Chain A
């Protein structure tokens, strides 16, 4: 007997009967070539009254970890019965193929690996699934972003996405890279869809205008567009973009023929522009938008026409699940899903990350198109060890801080990240942190420049090669010149201007993306290194 008081044969008979009804209710896929109907990750329909195992964690993740993150970020699917079908919406990955930051990966949200395990948990719970992505896989331009986009596209295919839109960052990539990345693999159609964006022209038909999928006996029509304001920012002549409304109109007529139970609009546009599209096309009952706040709201707001507006937050930290139930009083529910450590890591996505990292490493800085740029001061770097000759106290403080082992933290990652310019820029000396490129004479690898490893003195004080050479006596200089070189590197927080300058330096790496808790007054005591009187006297 189970806790409901039915004997196993009764439960089995019930399940069989219900299962067969569900199958009878499953519509056949239409044969329209344009609609590119594909089967979503949809197992058979089971009893909606059955409370199933809830997809609240990755496989093998223990209760204590789940509790930690439930307390921190909220519970998931609590009190839910098994839905008839679930639409999972993701998007705005913004290049964050994995979480990155100073607070430790376990304290951050996002990444393809956790997303993969979340979707697996849904599938393991036997929830019929339609997975769609708004787009916006990358934000930057260059060879690294091209490789990253390809890796993410591979990951989304592996995860079985039914539809993926394009964000403006994606469309800034060269068309040849985009076409190769979005191409179908084997007999599976491309997951990429857009009603108003055509790689090499809309009539080239490289991606379909819309998609129809089925899950749980329900048919879903999906349309993706790039908003008009965002389209103006895409300067890529090899891509045709027509107004979003024009694209939707063309797709809507086809969707109408398919008699979908639900229509989904993936709109890469500001919330205002998306709301305007939703008002004009009321047939969409789920409308996902870009451009909201960092965090999506806990509940989906309802638009004047009745559609539910889905915001996703930024950097792929959340997914939003929208579930449909055969319950006239409560036909749907939604759940904002923080992709935190309770989902664990997925081996196939870790393997994909390893391949990505290995591609970066094999290309090297030159292969990634990263030529060293001149430092604004025009000076060169000496390395932190040079500073120790005179500034022993400061060096001793520094070597006991995490800054002194910053590169090691990248080497210790699995897969290691020390070939990734987006990581290196804040873990070595002599890079422009926000531009992910080296300065002339900056770190160029452990073989060539081991003395510039880790987050060292010169990233705050400035390049010190000339100063060090003069102080060591390698180069002769007048007292005036010596003092000028010293003065260029001095950094005091005793004045508001000096403190602001120091804070700005810190914020180059401790930015909102990677160190959201950063506060100068809290962090500074951990690295404070005033010049002791003995050293100050000696310098005279």
Chain B
């Protein structure tokens, strides 16, 4: 018998060892709480003289800063090694943060050499921008310390705006034309004094008649949880029935003093729709058609839809199939169930093309017009609902 090559034997043995060892490690790791692991970088210990970078802190929490106000912090960097420490300014997360080394006479603020035992400072500046909220920026420094080739310094805190509306926008998705609606917006303010509301107006005159606006100051307990807030007011919006069906576009403009005058705009958006809607994967809302595609008469097909009903007459909606085209379509109406708070009723519709049906072409073209499902709904304002069906049934 021919003996195996010694290299192969050694290699396979080595592999076996590595694999088994690795497998055991894997099993150990799988059974050990992974959260116990640490993130600390580990590098090779250099031989000979070497810089050792030490930073007492890499993270600075500045607390709060106002919009457009500036802040800065100096991070200390020490060289605890026995060779010069070379530092190079690296990336900053965006221009909100500027990092500079402590200026040395004739030196660059982008690079710095720190002698053994020496120190330098990295200055990080920031400016509060945006609408307020959590803020985090960072600046990185590259070093020639092989154990720590990069240090990331982080400044974080909260930007305090002049005012903040919650929510920023009132969105009313598919508002029923026949029902009233209420909404509230809380405006938190961060000025020296509590706000004095001068006016609340609406910019879209065409639909302004359907809205009523009112404001009331917030109690201290109501703005206590908002970091830095010194006052606030609540805007109540009442919307009366009768808005025209279609997109809903309105803007509430609030003018108030802190004592300086501030204007905020709160968009009201959404849509006003009829009380009945169809929902389902095969329902194409842009074409307002049930798209069943090409179906083999041999296998047939089955599709589920939901009819949703809202508005004051939703409980009266009890669909009954009046007729269908093609006539072999089978439509089963399920039991209505309330959704969430009960303002919408969900009624399942099961639409089946039974196996063995005949062929038909209702692809929704001038030559092959849509099929249809006609339902008597029970809704007094929309007693009949016609669902166009686009389908081709092939042998």
Bound Cα distance A299, B58 (Å): 12
Interface of A is mostly: loop
A77 at the interface (CB under 8 A from B): no
Whether, in the assembled complex, A450 has its beta carbon less than 8 Å from a beta carbon of chain B, the answer is: no
- B73-81, B270-278, B372-380: which one contacts chain A? B270-278
B325-357, CB under 8 A of A: which get 1 and which 0?
Answer: 000000000000111110110100000000000
A125 lies within 8 A of chain B by Cβ:
no
CA distance A7 to B6 in the complex (A): 12
User: Is A74 a contact of B39 with CB atoms below 8 Å?
Assistant: no
Q: With contacts defined as CB atoms under 8 Å apart, how many contacts are there between chain A and chain B in the complex?
A: 230
A239/B339 in contact, CB under 8 A: yes
Range class of the A interface residue count: 35 or more
A201 engages B346 (CB within 8 Å): yes
A326 within 8 A of B: yes
**A239, B340: Cβ atoms closer than 8 Å:** yes
Residues on the B chain within 8 Å of A334, using CB = 39
Q: Is the CB of A331 within 8 A of B249?
A: no
B359 touches A (CB below 8 Å): no
Stretch of B93-101, B112-120, B362-370 that contacts chain A:
B93-101
Q: Are A238 and B279 in contact (CB under 8 A)?
A: yes
Interface centre among B34, B308, B341 (most CB of A within 10 A): B34
Q: Are B339 and A200 in contact (CB under 8 A)?
A: yes
Q: Provide the residues of chain A in CB contact with B216, threshold 8 Å.
A: none
B38 A330 Cβ-Cβ under 8 A:
yes
Residues of A close to B36: CB separation below 8 A: 331
Q: Is A307 an interface residue, CB under 8 A from the partner? A: yes
Query: Bound complex: CA of A261 vs CA of B173, how far in Å?
Result: 40
Q: Which of A173-181, A393-401, A411-419, A472-480 contacts B (4 or more CB under 8 A)?
A: A173-181
Most buried by B among A9, A13, A333: A13
The segment from A127-135, A286-294, A346-354, A532-540 that touches chain B is A286-294
Q: Which residues of A contact B283 (CB under 8 A)?
A: 176, 180
Please tell me if the beta carbons of A14 and B18 are within 8 angstroms of each other in the complex.
yes
**Are A47 and B32 interface neighbours, CB within 8 A?**
no
| CB atoms of B30 and A237 under 8 A apart | no
| A324 adjacent to chain B (CB < 8 Å) | yes
Counting CB contacts under 8 A, is A262 at the interface?
Answer: yes
**CB distance A293 to B134 under 8 Å?**
yes
Structural contact, A332 and B37, CB atoms closer than 8 A = yes
Are B25 and A328 in contact (CB-based, < 8 A)?
yes
Contact A241 B25 (CB under 8 A): no
Q: Are B279 and A306 in contact (CB under 8 A)?
A: no
Q: Is the CB of A307 within 8 A of B35?
A: yes
Contacts of A174 in B (CB 8 A): 173-174, 271, 277, 285
Closest-CB distance, A249 to chain B (whole angstroms): 19
A293 in contact with B135 (CB, 8 Å): yes
Q: A6-B11, A25-B26 are in contact. Are A512 and B129 (CB under 8 A)?
A: yes
| Contact of A13 with B285 in the complex, beta carbons under 8 Å | no
Note all chain B residues with C-beta closer than 8 A to A237: 174, 310, 339-341, 343-344
Pairwise interchain contact A235-B90, C-beta atoms closer than 8 A: no
Closest to B169 in A: A141
Given contacts A71-B90, A201-B337, contact A176 B12 (CB under 8 A): no
Are B134 and A291 in contact, with the CB atoms below 8 A? yes
A141-B171, A235-B173, A237-B339 given; A292·B308 CB < 8 A: no
Looking at the complex, which one of B23, B94, B173, B269 makes contact with A516 (CB distance below 8 Å)?
Answer: B94
Bound together, the chains give a CA A176 to CA B173 distance in angstroms of: 11
CB–CB A297/B136 < 8 A = yes
When C-beta atoms are compared, the residue in chain A nearest to B15 turns out to be A14
> Would B306 and A204 count as touching, CB distance under 8 A?
yes
Q: Of the listed stretches A92-100, A158-166, A368-376, A451-459, name the one at the interface; the rest are far from the partner chain.
A: A368-376
Contact bitstring A257-277, B, C-beta under 8 A = 1, else 0: 000011000000001000000
**Contact B15–A73 (Cβ < 8 Å):** no
The closest CB in chain B to the CB of A235 belongs to: B172
Q: Are A175 and B34 in contact (CB under 8 A)?
A: no
A235 to B39, CA, bound (A): 42
B22 and A172 contact, CB distance less than 8 A: no
Q: Contact check: which of A141, A179, A435 meets B279 at CB < 8 Å?
A: A179
Smallest CB gap from B170: residue in A: A235
Q: Is B152 interfacial (CB-CB < 8 Å)?
A: yes
Cβ B344 vs Cβ A238 within 8 A: yes
Closest B residue to A306 by beta carbon equals: B35
**A440 CB to nearest B CB, Å:** 12
Shortest C-beta distance, B319 to chain A (Å), equals 16
Q: A238-B308, A293-B156 are in contact. Are A331 and B32 (CB under 8 A)?
A: yes
Q: Which residue of B lies closest to A240 (CB)?
A: B340
Q: Which residues of B contact A333 (CB under 8 A)?
A: 39
Report the separation of the CA atoms of residues A179 and B277 in the bound assembly, to the nearest whole angstrom: 13
Compute how far the CA of A175 lies from the CA of B308 in the bound complex, rounded to whole angstroms: 10
What chain A residues lie within 8 Å of B277 (beta carbons)? 174-176
Residues on A with beta carbons closer than 8 Å to the beta carbon of B14:
6, 10, 14
Chain A residue, CB-CB nearest to B127: A519
Encoded as 1 (CB less than 8 Å from any B CB) or 0, chain A from 292 to 324 comes to 111111110010001110000000000000001
Q: Across the interface, do B19 and A175 meet the contact criterion of CB distance under 8 Å?
A: no
Task: Give bound CA distance, A261 to B150, whole Å.
Answer: 33
Q: Which residue of B lies closest to A175 (CB)?
A: B279
User: Does B50 sit within 8 A of A, measured CB to CB?
Assistant: no
Chain A CB within 8 A of B262 CB = no
A281 interfacial contact with B, CB 8 Å: no
List the A residue with the shortest CB-CB distance to B11. Answer: A10
User: Is A285 an interface position by the 8 A CB rule?
Assistant: yes
The complex places the Cα of A21 from the Cα of B277 at a distance, in Å, of 55
B340-A241 in contact (CB<8A): yes
Residue of A at shortest CB range from B23? A21
CB A534 to nearest CB in B, in angstroms, measures 38
Closest to B140 in A: A74
Name the contact of B30 in the complex, choosing from A18, A141, A261, A294 (C-beta under 8 A): A261
A296 to B137, CA, bound (A): 9
CB within 8 Å of B: which A166-213 residues: 172-177, 179-180, 183-184, 198, 200-201, 203-204
Residue-by-residue, is B177-197 near A (CB-CB < 8 Å gives 1, otherwise 0)? 000000100000000000000
A7–B8 alpha-carbon span in the complex (Å): 9
- A182 to chain B: closest CB distance in Å? 9
> Which of A88-127 touch B at CB < 8 Å?
none
Give chain B residues whose Cβ lies under 8 Å from the Cβ of A74: 90-91, 140, 150, 152
Contact B29 A327 (CB under 8 A): yes
B392 within 8 A of A: no
Distance, CA A512 to CA B170, complexed state (A): 22
Whether A326 pairs with B39 at a CB distance below 8 angstroms is no
| Residues of chain A at the chain B interface (Cβ within 8 Å) | 6-7, 9-10, 13-14, 17-18, 21, 25, 47-49, 71-75, 84, 140-142, 172-177, 179-180, 183-184, 198, 200-201, 203-204, 218, 233, 235-241, 261-262, 271, 285, 291-299, 302, 306-308, 324-334, 369, 371, 373-374, 376, 435, 437, 512, 516-517
Q: List 24 A-B contacts (CB under 8 A).
A: A10-B8, A13-B8, A14-B11, A18-B15, A25-B23, A71-B90, A84-B29, A140-B269, A141-B270, A172-B171, A173-B173, A176-B277, A200-B306, A201-B340, A236-B173, A237-B339, A285-B34, A298-B152, A326-B25, A327-B37, A369-B247, A371-B249, A373-B249, A517-B95
Q: 8 nearest interchain CB pairs?
A: A10-B11, A326-B26, A240-B340, A293-B136, A14-B15, A183-B281, A237-B343, A306-B35
